[in-house]
Chains A and B, each alone.
Chain A
Amino acid sequence: MTTHELPFQSAAATAQAIAAKQVSPVEVVHAYLERIDRLDDTLHAYITVCREAALDAARRAERAIMQGEKLGPLYGVPVAVKDQFWTRGLLTTNGSRVYRDFVPDDDATMVARLAQAGTILLGKLNLSELAMGGTRNPPWGITRNPWDLERTPGESSSGSGAALAAHLCAASVGEDTGGSGRGPAAYCSVVGLRPTYTRVSRYGMTPMCWFTDTAAPMTKTVEDCALVLGAIAGYDPKDPTTSRQPVPDYTAPLGQSLNGMRVAVIRELFEHDDIHPEVKQAIAAALEVFRELGAEVREVSIPLIPHAGAIFVGAGDTAGAGARDEILRTRADELDPASRTRLQSAALVPAQVYHRAMKARVVLRQQFMAALDQADVLVSAMSPFPPLLHTSLTAPFAGADDVRFRFFFRRSYSASYALAALPAISIPGGFTSDPALPIGLQLGARPFAEAKLLQAAHAYEQATTWHQRRAPFAVEATA
């Protein structure tokens, strides 16, 4: 394997090459840093690059390998995390001018667990302000999509998706409040997992909406996703909401047959009038792949799901606005106009409307659970359309109908799982024809059924070739 090829490998393959002493962690880190130096002035995927610390860690890892220490499956792998996770002694901006000088004195539990697994932190990744979306003037630059630089890489874990698609890290961890991890995964043609709420500690993760926020492994392959989830999941006394359920080996079911697995498309999301026709075709084709893999394909209904976007904003944004009350009162002028107007409008929501949204969330969960009595895995698009142009995403809203279409509609696809506290994954599911833009395939399952989700995702990934395509910018910039 040439040095140029190293950053294009999966995290699992990189770790295996390191363990077999075919390549040194120092070489791998150098290869990634070289790409970051060359490409990130255009992409703006990183806010902070930990050059010296990463090289020091790589040298320590190299010594450990040479001394024959027992290594984990991610040992020596260069990773990066969304700049929403605290890193001790290292700037943590949350993508906001409000936090431009915030240096935590502790690591997020997720960050500490990645380090315990032997990964090497390359840096902190860009995001929409305060993990929301639509930031018009991001302080650390507009993150660009390696598949088309004029388009969004998705939000809010924009840097996490872009860095993976451009091969500027081997794996990353974003965050998913209402689709912030899976959305960028879909738009960048990588893998993004929203684990069951309570599966991964939230300690040291700056909150947006405390009852839906979760860390989100984002990776180049499903196998990598299983490895990263295994490294970061589990009970944490610093986050009393975390589950005490044991963490299984998430790689164990990979490669197992889907014979008899019940896979169901969600009717309301598939049949929606406004879904992009090529996205709909891709979902229909994916169902055919599952059928060929031995799954029993069927259809389920979740009647409330078209309202999930509005329920999410009514419940999640309102909670988020409450949590940011001090910023709204004293530092609103430092916020980007998109974040400011979104939080301010949510702050005005009356208590009875918030209460109604919270109750509707419970009904949505009941409808999901009824659907999951009929199916093991649910299928839909991750987004009803391919990545949008930056200009259309950040333009101020042109009236209430525009808000409905641009703000609520797409969130019905992403935020529904967050509201229901269920695990969901986005994997590469195809491309539009002209221009060729990524389509994300979303799979969902019962609480704590991440292993089944990963099994189905892996089977689909191995039966297709979408994950093997490389983003034009990542390739052209290499040549």
Chain B
Amino acid sequence: MAWSKEERVRELARLIGISIVPEEETEVADRFESLMKELDELVSLDLADIEPVTIFPEEP
């Protein structure tokens, strides 16, 4: 049986050791699912040769 969005975030939160209050589970789930959906759209980018640097080299 498929989990509801609330059940998914509840389980993820349990695994990383944080607790989500029941009345906020839907909001956390909506934020999380929306972000995952948006970032899923980036899978079509060719990122194979990209290094995920955090600070860019200085270029005046």
Is B52 a contact partner of A361 (Cβ separation < 8 A)?
Answer: yes
Is B42 a contact partner of A403 (Cβ separation < 8 A)?
Answer: no
Does chain B have a CB within 8 A of A365?
yes
Q: Which of A304, A309, A407 has the most CB of B within 10 A?
A: A407
Q: A353-B36, A407-B34, A447-B59 are in contact. Are A344 and B52 (CB under 8 A)?
A: no
Q: A396-B27, A403-B34 are in contact. Are A362 and B52 (CB under 8 A)?
A: yes
- Nearest to B51 among chain A residues (CB) is A362
Does chain B have a CB within 8 A of A311?
yes
Which residues of the partner chain A approach B54 to less than 8 Å between Cβ atoms?
A: 210-211, 358
Does chain A have a CB within 8 A of B1?
no
What's the minimum C-beta distance from A133 to chain B, rounded to whole angstroms? 13
Residues of A352-395 at the interface with B, using a CB-CB cut-off of 8 Å, are: 353, 355-363, 365
Which residues of the partner chain B approach A432 to less than 8 Å between Cβ atoms?
A: none
Which residues of the partner chain A approach B45 to less than 8 Å between Cβ atoms?
A: 304, 359-360, 363
What's the minimum C-beta distance from B34 to chain A, rounded to whole angstroms? 4
Considering only CB atoms and an 8 Å cut-off, how many residues of chain B contact the other chain? 37
Is B39 a contact partner of A345 (Cβ separation < 8 A)?
Answer: no
Residues of B1-49 at the interface with A, using a CB-CB cut-off of 8 Å, are: 9, 12-13, 16-20, 24, 27-39, 41-43, 45, 47
Q: A342-B31, A403-B30 are in contact. Are A329 and B18 (CB under 8 A)?
A: yes
Which residues of the partner chain B approach A404 to less than 8 Å between Cβ atoms?
A: 34, 37-38
Which residues of the partner chain B approach A245 to less than 8 Å between Cβ atoms?
A: 58, 60
What's the minimum C-beta distance from B18 to chain A, rounded to whole angstroms? 5
Is B17 a contact partner of A329 (Cβ separation < 8 A)?
Answer: yes
What's the minimum C-beta distance from B28 to chain A, rounded to whole angstroms? 5
Is A359 a contact partner of B32 (Cβ separation < 8 A)?
Answer: no
Which residues of the partner chain A approach B33 to less than 8 Å between Cβ atoms?
A: 400
Considering only CB atoms and an 8 Å cut-off, how many residues of chain A contact the other chain? 52
Does chain B have a CB within 8 A of A44?
no
Q: A198-B55, A341-B24 are in contact. Are A400 and B18 (CB under 8 A)?
A: no
Does chain B have a CB within 8 A of A187?
no
Is A397 a contact partner of B30 (Cβ separation < 8 A)?
Answer: yes
A400–B55 CA distance with the chains assembled, in angstroms: 32
Q: A243-B58, A328-B18 are in contact. Are A349 and B50 (CB under 8 A)?
A: no
What's the minimum C-beta distance from A122 to chain B, rounded to whole angstroms? 34
Does chain B have a CB within 8 A of A75?
no
* Residue from B28, B50, B53, B60 within 8 A of A344 (CB atoms): B28
A97–B41 CA distance with the chains assembled, in angstroms: 37
Is B28 a contact partner of A345 (Cβ separation < 8 A)?
Answer: yes
- Nearest to B40 among chain A residues (CB) is A353
* Residue from A210, A304, A397, A448 within 8 A of B31 (CB atoms): A397
What's the minimum C-beta distance from B50 to chain A, rounded to whole angstroms? 4
Query: C-beta contact mask, A206-228 vs B, less than 8 Å → 1, else 0?
Result: 00001100000000000000000
* Residue from B9, B42, B60 within 8 A of A448 (CB atoms): B60
A347–B9 CA distance with the chains assembled, in angstroms: 10
Is A332 a contact partner of B13 (Cβ separation < 8 A)?
Answer: no
- Nearest to A246 among chain B residues (CB) is B60
Is A400 a contact partner of B43 (Cβ separation < 8 A)?
Answer: no
Give me 19 A-to-B residue pairs in the complex whose CB atoms sit less than 8 angstroms apart, sorted by A's number. A197-B55, A307-B42, A310-B41, A311-B39, A314-B39, A328-B18, A332-B18, A345-B29, A345-B31, A348-B12, A348-B28, A355-B52, A356-B42, A359-B45, A363-B47, A397-B30, A403-B31, A408-B34, A448-B59
Query: Residues of A at under 8 Å CB distance from B?
Result: 197-198, 210-211, 241, 243, 245, 304, 307, 309-311, 313-314, 328-329, 332, 337, 340-342, 344-349, 353, 355-363, 365, 396-397, 399-404, 407-408, 421, 446-448
In the complex, the 3 A-B pairs of residues with the closest C-beta atoms, listed nearest first: A310-B38, A358-B52, A345-B31
Query: Residues of B at under 8 Å CB distance from A?
Result: 9, 12-13, 16-20, 24, 27-39, 41-43, 45, 47, 50-56, 58-60
